[in-house]
Copies of this chain bind each other. A is one copy, B any other.
Amino acid sequence: MFQLDLRESKPLYEQIKEKMKELIISAVLKPDERIPSVRELAQTLTINPNTIQKAYKELENEGFIYSVRAKGNFVAPLEQKAIRPRRDELRKELEKIVAELSYLHEPEEQLISTIQAIYQEKEGKKDD
């Protein structure tokens, strides 16, 4: 499914969260699709189950997955997410990054075409 970087300074559970988010956002994992169980993923990545549990719990709090007792964890459909606050958060982050990029003389056109490319790719995978 993905690999972790043990040399990375970022906590393992954060890395797991990130990778899982990427798979959900990029629609590799579809809504209501089952993701690996806590124990299963722990074994695959050869890390402790509690670390997976922590990552999954936070992903659930953030609305990316939901868990069903004795069945597993599943990708949350978009409607279930608390979209508003997360979007506000992301906009702020975006503004910071763009401010720094402009400070570093990154051309404005470059950023715009990056955005257009990402949105265009999205067009190809409309299943949500």
Contacts and interface: CB of A to CB of B under 8 A. Distances in A.
Given A111-B115, A115-B108, A116-B108, A94 B101 contact: yes
A122 interface: yes
Interface stretch (A33-41, A42-50, A65-73, A82-90): A82-90
A90 B99 contact: no
Contact-residue bracket for chain A: 35 or more
Question: From DSSP, what is the main secondary structure of chain A's interface residues?
Answer: helix
Interface in A79-128: 81, 83, 86-87, 90-91, 93-106, 108, 111-112, 114-116, 118-119, 122, 128
Interface of A: 21-22, 24-26, 78, 81, 83, 86-87, 90-91, 93-106, 108, 111-112, 114-116, 118-119, 122, 128
Contact of A104 (B87, B104, B112, B119): B87
B90 A97 contact: yes
A72 B90 CA distance: 36
Contacts of A105: 78, 83
Closest 10 CB pairs of A and B: A25-B103, A108-B119, A98-B118, A102-B122, A94-B97, A90-B101, A83-B104, A87-B104, A25-B99, A90-B97
